[in-house]
Amino acid sequence: MFTKVICHKGFWRSVIFLTLMFIIIYNLVDWGMAFNFDFQTFIKERLNPDKLLKFIFANILSGFVYGFIISFFKFRKKLKHLNPSDH
């Protein structure tokens, strides 16, 4: 079932879309809650050269995990609905 899900048409497009949306929404919420919408402080803190690689890696990894999990269960449900006898 795992292979069928990840090979299903549109799965990886959904993962990428959700990854990008997660990164955008997460950073908007972080900017608002942690920095009170102070853009200069957010940029200075998050894009600090000492922390930049960690920031980028953490955003991509967390976004990918979120996108993959949500897409996987969405497509798994879709495939189970189309093929009820297939587990």
List pLDDT tens digits, range 20-47: 999 999 999 999 999 999 999 999 999 9
Whether residue 75 lies inside any domain: the answer is yes
Identify the band that residue 7 occupies on the pLDDT scale cut at 50, 70 and 90: very high
Q: 58 near 23, Cβ under 8 Å? A: no
Is residue 55 over pLDDT 90? Answer: yes
Helix (H) or strand (E) holding 14: helix 11-35
Whether residue 87 lies inside any domain: the answer is no
Range of the domain at 61: 2-82
Number of folded domains in the chain? Answer: 1
Residue 11: how many other CB atoms lie within 10 Å: 19
What pLDDT score was predicted for residue 87?
60
What pLDDT score was predicted for residue 64?
98
Whether residue 30 lies inside any domain: the answer is yes
Identify the band that residue 11 occupies on the pLDDT scale cut at 50, 70 and 90: very high
Q: What angle do CA 66, 56, 31 make, to 5 degrees?
A: 80
pTM for the whole structure: 0.87
Identify the band that residue 86 occupies on the pLDDT scale cut at 50, 70 and 90: low
Whether residue 42 lies inside any domain: the answer is yes
Q: 62 near 21, Cβ under 8 Å? A: no
